[in-house]
Chain A
């Protein structure tokens, strides 16, 4: 089976804050149509990595390539226009707007070749809300939404930009089991529309549930990479999450 050409390619990406390398020499590829998960303990550099890809941070070393060209150091809005959408771990809704208007902003802007006029953008926003299960709440102000719904809205807004690649930053964090199942269905539905998904998660269930491939980060470095079930049994991964003593006990 021939490997499809990588859509996103990270080459030795490094980001330092002062003396600390939050992301240290990270390289991997994401193929078109994939769902890939990035996991790792708190402070492993997951969100920093995502900020690097989406242009929120510049790189200290390395390169990020998208469809063959370098996007390292590009402004966030230009990266969004190339078709890379993202969500924020701490949701950042447009507070004075309704749910529909929030999603419409994504449709009004976003990927260059797919920009819509206001009227069309609102229609598109309506369709996206349906996809993520927020259609019934379209006319509510954001302040009326529950936490899980706000996370859905965060995803809806990013999906409305019609990205080729969607970066999801812990959209399941803080949700209960039932809510996680619903959110998983939402991610699968978005993926089924042809969007490549890279998701950062803390919750193992999520990674196992939707990803075919997972990358484990620890202290800014790639610790392991492969099928989620295999990666999660990796001794180094267990050690990173639960400590050396627990890993030894598990082994014996």
Chain B
């Protein structure tokens, strides 16, 4: 019973911390409003805060979306950044070239991304394991190259190497608006995952992950389910891309198709806990904070001994890499595992995990 009590305590601590973090994220931006400033409320959210918080919310969307195909369905997609870029370019092109209003063009980002995922998913999702991972990575890289290099009559269709400039979205408190919009997308992706995990669809996806042949003979339409999961992940990722394009005002191959996002979203999902509704979000927040902390962009910072400030980003990458190796080996089910009330962090847990992960 002692163990159960301690678990309950941990769980309560976690819930309180999550509630505080959530309330802070929701309310801090309000202090930047003119009304709050004239009432002498301390400013809790400056430009940098908005930048970091919006990017964090963006990664919550991407990690949570990746989890639907990678975590729940068990297909390690390494090219999801393609959907982010497609979403960004869909909204970007509609705004910059067709002069559509932002809020009208945003819904097309998830639709186009999902349609593209269905198209490439049909052949790709026949592959398993490493083959699917490598093929999806190929698609991720190829789409970015295509977008930059497609010409029509000598003119780049999508802005080419010089990128695509969007008109600034005319709205008061832009930073606040885009933060809340991205946060809403993050909440939506978590809610979608939560619903999926409780539906016949979700159980079918888990069955596919655990044993695809067995799922098929029980009546799961495996092809349709896999494509649907891939498209759903693509839609959410594309939504984040669509918001990003108008928020950032400028998109090109480098910021709409960053290859490192592929790895980061997967690592976030792994760190937090794959297959769960809240794990990837927790992982996204933690990893993003860590990246920023090591990079020295957070207000709180430490000096890393023997390292000059210019070398910090490189050292940050190394520390990140080591941490993630440790996570994969010792906490394979992610940190969310400690908050479900069943397990707790102890030497025994790490030892058991090591046994499980080393064959």
A residues with CB within 8 A of B: 54-56, 75-77, 79-81, 85-86, 88, 92-97, 101, 104-106, 108-112, 115, 117-118, 121, 157-158, 161
Q: Identify which of A54, A104, A108, A117 contacts B217 (C-beta below 8 A).
A: A54
B residues with CB within 8 A of A: 198-200, 203-204, 206-207, 209-211, 213-222, 275
Q: Identify which of B203, B204, B210, B216 contacts A80 (C-beta below 8 A).
A: B216
What is the CA–CA distance of A81 and B219 in the complex, to the nearest angstrom? 6
Find out whether the CB atom of A157 lies under 8 angstroms from the CB atom of B210.
Answer: no
Find out whether the CB atom of B199 lies under 8 angstroms from the CB atom of A161.
Answer: no
Find out whether the CB atom of B203 lies under 8 angstroms from the CB atom of A92.
Answer: no
Find out whether the CB atom of B204 lies under 8 angstroms from the CB atom of A108.
Answer: yes
With A94-B206, A97-B210 as contacts: A109 and B198 at CB distance below 8 Å: no
Q: Which residues of A contact B216 (CB under 8 A)?
A: 56, 75-77, 80
What is the CA–CA distance of A81 and B216 in the complex, to the nearest angstrom? 10
When A and B form their complex, which 10 residue pairs have the shortest distance between CB atoms, in order from nearest?
A109-B219, A94-B210, A80-B219, A92-B214, A76-B216, A92-B211, A110-B219, A77-B221, A105-B207, A76-B217
Can you report 15 A-B residue pairs in the complex whose CB atoms are below 8 A from each other? A76-B213, A76-B216, A81-B219, A85-B217, A88-B213, A92-B211, A93-B214, A94-B206, A94-B214, A96-B275, A97-B206, A105-B204, A105-B207, A121-B200, A161-B219
- Max chain B Cβ within 10 angstroms of own Cβ: one of A55, A76, A81, A95: A76
Q: Which residues of B contact A118 (CB under 8 A)?
A: 198-200, 203
What is the CA–CA distance of A106 and B112 in the complex, to the nearest angstrom? 34
Closest A residue to B198 using CB positions: A118
Find out whether the CB atom of B218 lies under 8 angstroms from the CB atom of A80.
Answer: yes
Q: Which residues of A contact B200 (CB under 8 A)?
A: 108-109, 115, 117-118, 121
Q: Which residues of B contact A94 (CB under 8 A)?
A: 206-207, 210-211, 214
Q: A94-B207, A101-B203, A105-B207 are in contact. List 18 more A-B contacts (CB 8 A).
A: A77-B216, A77-B222, A81-B219, A85-B218, A92-B211, A94-B211, A94-B214, A96-B206, A104-B203, A108-B203, A109-B204, A109-B220, A110-B219, A115-B200, A117-B200, A118-B198, A157-B218, A158-B218
Find out whether the CB atom of A105 lies under 8 angstroms from the CB atom of B203.
Answer: yes
Q: Which residues of A contact B213 (CB under 8 A)?
A: 56, 76, 88, 92
What is the CA–CA distance of A95 and B221 in the complex, to the nearest angstrom? 20
Minimum distance in angstroms from B279 CB to a CB of chain A = 14
With A77-B222, A92-B211 as contacts: A56 and B203 at CB distance below 8 Å: no
Find out whether the CB atom of A109 lies under 8 angstroms from the CB atom of B206.
Answer: no
Minimum distance in angstroms from B357 CB to a CB of chain A = 15
Q: Which residues of A contact B207 (CB under 8 A)?
A: 94, 105
Q: Which residues of A contact B221 (CB under 8 A)?
A: 75, 77
Find out whether the CB atom of B217 lies under 8 angstroms from the CB atom of A80.
Answer: yes
Minimum distance in angstroms from B203 CB to a CB of chain A = 5
With A94-B207, A96-B206, A97-B210 as contacts: A105 and B215 at CB distance below 8 Å: yes
